[in-house]
């Protein structure tokens, strides 16, 4: 079926064909570029050709040509004539080949518009108008450029047609317009968790990019959010950002910060040399900082780094702009609009009460000033309703072979991490490093794979064996790899099959590992439930096809964690974590693909865990201490931000596990970490109450 012909063309319209230099036996009739916008690949049309009658033809997208056996021998090569394809009808889609002389119109004179304005064509402009017709894509680009040039101010957002898979809400549109019109692109976005601050920031950036007001953009985020931001910017906004840890970026070292115009980086990396000076020496059109509560203290290296950046536009995103002291709010606003809240000394004298740094004086005056730089939407006032989550842990008793292999591999990993360690700090804050020749990253991956399925661990065991400097260790690793290869049955896979029989609706099944995905795809196909597959190795069109199949008749989507980035799957309301990431934010990101704005059903979360594993202990910790699966998307990061730790959560857990003498010791250490998590959650809840008391609805964006 034709794509846009019904919208832009009517019978009698003509398209000029390229010079028809064809061989006598050619079956193809070249149309020239631009026809992909009009005809679908493989679309069938009728062509009324001179001396040949009505021919059935097929559109070849790759060649931009029509193909028909009847075109063989068609005599069109008459240099004195111009040939056109004329639309006869759209039902059925029929064209006619017609010949005509090149039009030689005169320059029009005496033209007057309906409002009486005389129009005169310059001779050089008329020469351009007399040229051959341009492809539709070029015409569309030219028209779009004219629209952009004619749009002044920010009352109308010209970037909205560029968004993909984004369900916009009124509070987001109001926020974007407020930031652009009133704040001139420098704002503190403090919406409550779950209301789409990332979308708001992306829309502001896209609008400025579309108007050519921004070219170089730096996005600074916590390490765990680099991939998520990169994925969302690509999928939702069509923007290609390079991550600071990609090989193509790292290969250029300091020069990479100058070469690339759009970068997503961890601010823990960016604030350290040699990156810090390379970044600070350049001019950035726009800087976006996510989880900006890490900038609340102006005495930290991170605040000073952010303050030193040469930036024209800047967005700071945080749901909790202050924690211990109103001066934290002053520090954030000063990064955006220095002087808005006067000097630090004057701010203290005007707004802080003695003895209580969280109880402001002159609250109305403070709110009035903040309204010039800060936006805060609340779930209670935007009419946003989040459906409930129901999480269920499905414990699985490993098969004897699985149990034996898990224990042996865990013993090896723990011993490798503990041997020849370098301890930094004291107590539980030890950073363990394995013996030379055994990569810490590979050992961590191996332990995670053992929590997934035995076959997933086999390739890592073999690679470790090849890289081992000790023949005895290499022999042991090869033996473990052979055991993993032989363990073709999985108790967790069997439990998954049972779950699918008990739960009849669509479901997303997540795993961290490609090998596990391959294994499960075979298992599910054998039981009559072939899944759509989604992973980072697939090209973009294949990913889109997988989601389209899942949206259609395919019941299951089997995805690696790349499927949890930038994809909204609200048409489904069930998720199964076949294995669990050690970072709770990644678990939250998985669930957040379904349990988010736009989900109309309650969401069911099934967690498969093997009894007696590190994953089982971790899941207990997250459920018992912080109720992870009951929290709104984004709140877990607020909790982790209150931990007095700069290490990633999974590194923290791994170091506790590796340093423990036995399981009893580990459980004791984990219980203490759980108490810290519970205290961090209580601190977050107090922050939320404080924000409510201080701001209320005073910072809701204007209509």
Backbone angles phi, psi at 285, to 5 degrees: -70, -35
pLDDT at 432: 42
Which structure tokens are listed for 207? 């609008």
Inform me whether the pLDDT recorded for 582 exceeds 50: yes
First to last CA, the chain: 42
Residue 391 CA to residue 378 CA, distance in Å, equals: 26
Which structure tokens are listed for 366? 């403070």
Inform me whether the pLDDT recorded for 1 exceeds 60: no
For range 611-622, the mean pLDDT: 90
Query: When comparing pLDDT for 516 and 686, which is higher?
Result: 516
Helix (H, G, I), strand (E, B) or coil at 573: coil
For range 570-581, the mean pLDDT: 92
Inform me whether the pLDDT recorded for 260 exceeds 70: yes
pLDDT tier at 430 (50, 70, 90 boundaries)? very low
For range 213-231, the mean pLDDT: 88
Query: When comparing pLDDT for 55 and 166, which is higher?
Result: 55
**Domains assigned to the chain:** 1-105+134-150 (2.40.330), 160-382 (3.40.50.10810), 400-486 (no CATH), 489-695 (3.40.50.300)
Question: Nearest-CA neighbor of 586 among 228, 191, 327, 332?
Answer: 228
Q: What's the residue count for the chain?
A: 703
Asked whether the beta carbons of 569 and 594 are under 8 A apart, the reply is yes
Inform me whether the pLDDT recorded for 339 exceeds 50: yes
> What is the b/e burial string over 282-320, where b = at least 16 CB atoms within 10 angstroms of the residue's CB?
eebbbbbbbbbbbbbbbeeebbebbeebebbbbbbbbbb
Which structure tokens are listed for 680? 């961090």
pLDDT tier at 426 (50, 70, 90 boundaries)? very low
pLDDT tier at 188 (50, 70, 90 boundaries)? very high
pLDDT at 599: 81
For the range 425-430, what are the long-range contacts, defined as Cβ-Cβ under 8 Å and sequence gap of 24 or more?
A: 428/655, 428/656, 428/659, 428/669, 428/672, 428/673, 429/645, 429/647, 429/655, 430/655, 430/659
Chain centre to alpha carbon of residue 226: 9
Question: Nearest-CA neighbor of 432 among 673, 658, 665?
Answer: 658
Torsion, Cα of 400, 406, 411, 412 (10° steps): 120
pLDDT at 579: 93
pLDDT at 106: 64
pLDDT tens digits for range 483-542: 999 998 999 999 999 999 999 999 999 999 999 999 999 999 999 999 999 987 887 678
Peptide bond into 92 cis (omega under 30): yes
327-336, 357-366, 531-540 — most confident range: 327-336
Inform me whether the pLDDT recorded for 143 exceeds 80: no
pLDDT at 425: 39
Inform me whether the pLDDT recorded for 151 exceeds 80: no
Residue 609 CA to residue 624 CA, distance in Å, equals: 16
Inform me whether the pLDDT recorded for 688 exceeds 60: yes
pLDDT at 276: 92
Q: 0.75 cut: is pTM over it?
A: no
Peptide bond into 29 cis (omega under 30): no
Q: What is the mean pLDDT of the chain?
A: 84
pLDDT at 435: 47
Q: What is the DSSP letter of 195?
A: S
pLDDT tens digits for range 593-602: 888 777 889 9
For range 655-660, the mean pLDDT: 85
pLDDT at 433: 43
Which structure tokens are listed for 82? 């111009």
Q: How many CB atoms lie within 10 A of CB 359?
A: 15
The upper half-sphere exposure of residue 159, i.e. CA atoms within 13 Å in the direction of its Cβ, equals 27
Residue 683 CA to residue 674 CA, distance in Å, equals: 14
Asked whether the beta carbons of 566 and 236 are under 8 A apart, the reply is yes
For range 473-480, the mean pLDDT: 91
Indicate the range of 142-146, 170-174, 211-215, 423-427 predicted with least confidence.
423-427
- The DSSP-derived string for 412-458 is HHHHHHHTT----SSGGG----PPTTS-HHHHHHHHHHHTT-HHHHH
């Amino acid at each position: 079926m034709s794509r846009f012909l019904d919208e832009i063309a009517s019978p009698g319209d003509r398209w000029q064909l390229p010079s028809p230099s064809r061989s006598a036996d050619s079956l193809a009739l070249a149309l020239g570029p631009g026809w992909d916008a009009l005809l679908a690949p493989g679309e069938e049309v009728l062509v009324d050709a001179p001396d040949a009658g009505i021919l059935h033809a097929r559109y070849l997208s790759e060649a931009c040509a029509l193909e028909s056996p009847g075109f063989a021998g068609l005599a069109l090569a008459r240099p004195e004539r111009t040939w056109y394809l004329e639309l006869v009808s759209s039902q059925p889609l029929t064209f006619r080949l017609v010949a005509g002389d090149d039009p030689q119109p005169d320059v029009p004179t005496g033209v007057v518009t309906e409002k009486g304005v005389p129009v005169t064509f310059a001779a050089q402009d008329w020469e351009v108008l007399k040229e051959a017709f341009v492809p539709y894509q070029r015409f569309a680009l030219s028209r779009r450029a004219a629209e952009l040039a004619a749009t002044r101010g920010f009352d109308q957002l010209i970037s909205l047609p560029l968004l993909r898979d984004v369900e916009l809400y009124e509070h987001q549109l109001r926020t974007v317009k407020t930031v652009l019109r009133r704040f001139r692109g420098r704002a503190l976005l403090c919406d409550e968790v779950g209301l789409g601050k990332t979308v708001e920031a992306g829309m502001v950036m896209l609008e400025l990019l579309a108007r050519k007001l921004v070219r170089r953009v730096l996005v600074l985020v916590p390490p765990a959010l680099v991939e998520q931001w990169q994925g969302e910017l690509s999928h939702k906004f069509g923007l290609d950002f390079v991550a600071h840890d990609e090989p193509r970026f790292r290969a250029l070292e300091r020069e990479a910060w100058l070469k690339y115009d759009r970068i997503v980086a961890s601010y823990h990396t960016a604030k350290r040399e040699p990156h810090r000076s390379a970044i600070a020496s350049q001019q950035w059109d726009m800087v976006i900082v996510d989880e900006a509560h890490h900038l609340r203290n102006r005495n930290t290296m991170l605040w000073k780094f952010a303050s030193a950046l040469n930036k024209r536009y800047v967005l700071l995103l945080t749901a909790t702009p202050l924690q211990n002291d109103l001066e934290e709010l002053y520090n954030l606003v000063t990064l955006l609009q220095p002087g808005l809240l006067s000097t630090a000394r004057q701010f203290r004298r005007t707004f802080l009460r003695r003895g209580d740094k969280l109880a402001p004086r002159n609250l109305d005056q403070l709110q009035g000033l903040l309204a010039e730089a800060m936006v805060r939407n609340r779930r209670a006032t935007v009419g946003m309703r989040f459906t409930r989550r129901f999480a269920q842990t499905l414990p699985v008793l490993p098969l004897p072979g699985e149990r034996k292999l898990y224990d042996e591999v865990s013993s090896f990993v723990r011993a490798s991490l503990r041997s020849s360690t370098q301890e930094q700090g004291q107590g539980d804050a030890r950073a363990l490093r394995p013996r030379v020749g055994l990569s810490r990253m590979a050992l961590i991956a191996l332990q995670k794979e053992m929590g997934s399925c035995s076959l997933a661990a086999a390739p890592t065991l073999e690679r470790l064996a090849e890289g081992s400097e000790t023949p005895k260790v290499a022999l042991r690793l090869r033996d473990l790899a052979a055991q993993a290869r032989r363990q073709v049955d999985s108790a967790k896979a069997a439990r998954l099959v049972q779950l699918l029989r008990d739960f009849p609706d669509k479901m997303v099944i997540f795993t961290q590992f490609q090998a596990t995905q391959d294994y499960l795809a075979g298992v599910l196909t054998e039981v009559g439930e072939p899944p759509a597959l989604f992973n980072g190795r697939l090209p973009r069109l294949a990913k889109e096809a997988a989601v389209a199949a899942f949206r259609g008749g395919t019941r299951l989507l089997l995805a690696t964690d790349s499927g949890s980035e930038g994809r909204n799957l609200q048409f489904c309301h069930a998720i199964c974590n076949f294995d669990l990431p050690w970072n709770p934010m990644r678990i939250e990101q998985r669930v957040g693909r379904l349990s988010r704005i736009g989900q109309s059903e309650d969401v069911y979360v099934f967690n498969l865990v093997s009894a007696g594993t590190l994953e089982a202990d971790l899941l207990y910790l997250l459920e018992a201490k912080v109720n992870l699966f009951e929290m709104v998307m984004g709140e877990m990061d607020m909790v982790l931000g209150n931990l007095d730790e700069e290490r990633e959560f999974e590194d923290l857990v791994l170091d506790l596990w590796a340093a423990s003498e036995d399981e009893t010791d580990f459980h004791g250490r984990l219980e203490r970490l759980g108490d810290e998590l519970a205290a961090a959650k209580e601190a977050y809840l107090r922050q939320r109450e404080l924000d409510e008391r201080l701001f209320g609805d005073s910072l809701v964006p204007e209509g």
